[in-house]
């Protein structure tokens, strides 16, 4: 006769890497139609240019225009208009407003360098990287043929290109899962044996 103790076993252990569509990237900045300080053009031919450095339609820099907006090179361009200079797809948000305050105190050249890096990072979200969550799971058989999934709490909002950081997170999640399995009655020996073969599933 099969005893209750004999029927309890850990069938599998796995590390799950799961897409996290709610990852918070606001630390980089925000896309908007309303430019703020150090705003970067996102759409049109001037994409990647700071809004305050956009050229006039005549090709001259803003510094070539007087306070009234007229070009001092005697050309027949319209008043200098940064918004008009940003020609492109008007159906999308036109600017990226970086979190420039994070770099307050740095030279202007350095602030612009970091803001451009943040823009590039935000622009390539989904295209080359995304957010994921990591959790550990165990399929267990408690009584008879009934199985149950035991999960660690998981850690979310991890950038998918975080490299070796994933090893640290996996270690923490597996340790949490071990404690959960021990709490529901599995012996340390049974847990160690089950954790010898950890499956991995990537998002």
Q: What is the pLDDT at residue 73?
A: 62
SS3 28: coil
Q: What is the pLDDT at residue 170?
A: 97
SS3 50: strand
Domain borders along the chain are 4-23+130-201, 29-123
Task: Decide if 174 contacts 37 (C-beta within 8 A).
Answer: no
Instruction: For residue 162, report the phi and psi dihedrals to the nearest 5 degrees.
Output: -80, -5
Q: What is the pLDDT at residue 77?
A: 62
Instruction: For residue 14, report the phi and psi dihedrals to the nearest 5 degrees.
Output: -145, 155
Per-residue CA distances from 184 to 15, 34, 69, 134, 195 (Å): 20, 55, 74, 22, 16
Q: What is the pLDDT at residue 88?
A: 44
Q: What is the pLDDT at residue 85?
A: 46
Distance of CA 178 to the CA centre of its chain: 29
Note down pLDDT in tens along the chain; length 203 residues: 444 455 789 999 999 999 999 999 999 999 988 889 999 999 877 889 998 887 766 666 666 666 655 666 666 565 445 544 444 443 468 899 999 999 999 999 999 999 999 999 999 998 899 999 999 999 999 877 789 999 999 999 999 999 999 999 999 999 999 999 999 999 999 999 999 999 998 85
Q: What's the number of CA atoms in the CB half-sphere (13 Å) around residue 14?
A: 14
């Amino acid at each position: 006769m099969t005893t209750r103790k004999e029927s309890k076993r850990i069938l599998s252990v796995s590390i799950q890497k799961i897409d996290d569509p709610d990852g918070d990237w606001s630390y980089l900045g925000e896309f908007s139609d309303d430019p703020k300080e150090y705003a970067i053009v996102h759409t049109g031919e001037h994409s990647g240019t700071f809004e305050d450095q956009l050229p006039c339609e005549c090709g001259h820099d803003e510094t070539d225009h007087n306070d009234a907006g007229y070009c001092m090179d005697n050309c027949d361009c319209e008043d200098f208009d940064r918004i008009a200079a940003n020609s492109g797809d008007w159906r999308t948000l036109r600017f990226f407003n970086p979190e420039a305050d994070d770099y307050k105190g740095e030279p202007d050249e350095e602030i612009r360098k970091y803001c451009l890096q943040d823009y590039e990072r935000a622009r390539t979200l989904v295209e080359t990287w995304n957010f994921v969550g990591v959790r550990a799971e165990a399929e267990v058989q408690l009584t008879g043929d009934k199985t149950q999934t035991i999960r660690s709490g998981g850690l979310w909002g991890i950038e998918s290109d975080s490299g070796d950081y994933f090893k640290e997170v996996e270690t923490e999640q597996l340790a949490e899962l071990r404690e959960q399995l021990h709490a529901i009655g599995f012996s340390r020996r049974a847990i160690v044996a089950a954790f010898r073969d950890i499956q991995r599933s990537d998002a």
